[in-house]
Each structure stands twice: as structure tokens, then as C-alpha cells.
Amino acid sequence: MPRLIAGLSEIANSYDVILSDIWGVVHNGAAAFAGAADALGRFRTRGGAVVLITNSPAPSRIVTAQLDDLGFPSSAYDAVVSSGDVTVSLLIERRGQSLFHIGAPQETGLFEEVAARDGQAPRFAPIANADFVLCTGFIDFFSETPEDYDERLKLIFARKLDFLCANPDLVVEVDGVLSYCAGAIAERYERLGGNVIQAGKPFAPIYDRALALAGEARGAPVERSRVLAIGDAMRTDIRGAVKQGFDSILVTSGIHREALHGEAEHAAIDAAALRQFVQDFGLRPSAAIAKLVW
């Protein structure tokens, strides 16, 4: 059973670095959480470093701008690292190859970042001529389901194309409503037997980058035993922390809120439900908290 805590202050002294998820922890896509900003800001004023680590397919400069727009203060964190940052590096490694893109056509920040860093933008092609697939999300974020992509995935699998997933999340909460992410499409491609390359949590590259940024902020190497990961998703945030050997806090009011709190809007954590939930996942966060507060 994870330790149930009321606030970050109960355990903050045991850590030098926090790697905090963004969606579901510091904002819900529509509004920033003042309690989370206060908690992370207090941790920094006590000498700790905070790196926000997100599976957003956008480059970190765009994620930072989104945080600004939502009113989340820059004083609450030292740096941002995104799945989009890792994806940019992977695309540059595939320089000269053409890609078939699955995702909203108006979201061009990822490709602009590649052009700025590499001197040339990625080349696009239909499935029949592409060298690999890049999935950044759903073409229509609010109405489509993963099943809508099955026919395209069959065509992609027939050509045995690599499937680069820029956001491993299955779902994200947007103002209280769960919406599908790129990971849900990638999961269906894996079920067909296709090869999926994931850019974000729970995989190592995004954590390597986050630890490097934390070390820069502190001006000293980071001891992994002094790192605390915070997130609301067992599959990505907590699994990633466990694989990296970090302690972790599960924020229970995020995407797992209904399973852990019930349907009532302001219900407390159900301890029995949490115990069963952890057993079912086979993962144990170090602690659990309803919302990130000090």
C-alpha cells in the first residue's frame, strides 16, 4: 500500500529533484492548479530542482508557452522536457527518410523545430511511399476513437513500417473529460504485430534528458535516490519511475480519479480501492496524494 499523504511537505526533505508530470498534475488543459504551483515553488525555494516532464508531442518551448497561457508560474519549475523534444531528435536521426503523419495537420511545431535544428524540414509521403510513420495524436482530438484508424493501420502494417509514437499516453484529461492520445493508436498497431518506437514516458530517453536538465539547474550531478517522480498515470508516470529506480507519488485525482475516488466529485481517496488498484497494476508508487499541494 502506498503511503497516503496530505501534502508534499511530508516527504519533501528526502529529495533534491522532482520530475513532475504536467497534464493532470499542474493543470487540466483548461486551468492551472494553484496548489501545485505553490507546492513546486516551495520545493524550489528550499533548494530543490523541478523539471516538468510531459508526454506532449510538442517541443518544450511550445509546452512552456502553454503553461504561460494557463497562468502556471515559471517560478514553480526550472525546466521542461517533452516527448516532442525526444521525437525531434529521432526525426533528425532519420534525416532523408519520408514519413506518413497521423495527427492534427495544424500542429506544425514539431516539424518547425526539426527544420530549425537540422536545416531542413521532414519530408511527407502517403502510406504507399513512406519510409516510416509518425503519430502525434488524433486528427480530430475530440471526436475520433482508436478504432477509426484500424484500416490505415492495416495498410501500414502490410508495409511493415516503423511506427514512431510522439505521445505514449493512452488518454489525457481535458477539463474533466478524458480524450484519447497517440498511444492508443500505437497500442493497436502493436496488437497487429507492428514495431512501435515510443518517445516519452515510461521509456528511458526522456528521463535521461530530464536528469541532465536537473543537474544543470542544481550545478551538480543528480543522485537517483534523491529523485521524486510525480504523476497521475500508472502506465506511464509510475511505471517510468519504477523502471528508473525513482520514488514516486501518484496523484489520484487525475485520469484514475473515478477508480480511486468514486463518482462523487469531492470524494476522498478510497483506501481499499487504491490497494486493489495497485495490486492489479503490479506497480507500487511510494506515496499517493489526492492533489499536488504543499
Q: Quick check: 143 pLDDT over 90?
A: no
- What is the rounded average pLDDT of the residues 216-229? 95
Q: Quick check: 141 pLDDT over 80?
A: no
Going along the chain from its start, the domains and CATH numbers come out as: 3-84+202-289 (3.40.50.1000), 87-198 (3.40.50.1000)
CA 46 to chain centroid, in Å, comes to: 26
Q: Quick check: 239 pLDDT over 70?
A: yes
Q: Quick check: 173 pLDDT over 90?
A: no
Residue 175 pLDDT: 64
CB 43 within 8 A of CB 8: yes
Q: Quick check: 128 pLDDT over 90?
A: yes
Peptide bond into 202 cis (omega under 30): yes
245: exposed, middle or buried (Cβ count in 10 Å: 0-12, 13-18, 19+): exposed
Q: How confident is the model at residue 177 (pLDDT cuts 50, 70, 90)?
A: confident
247 sits in which H/E element: strand 247-251
In the predicted model, what is the mean pLDDT of the chain?
Answer: 94
Task: Choose among 80, 78, 84: nearest CA to 200.
Answer: 84
What confidence tens digit (pLDDT) does each residue in 26-82 have?
A: 999 889 999 999 999 999 999 999 999 999 999 999 999 999 999 999 999 999 999
Distance, CA of 237 to CA of 234 (rounded, Å): 6
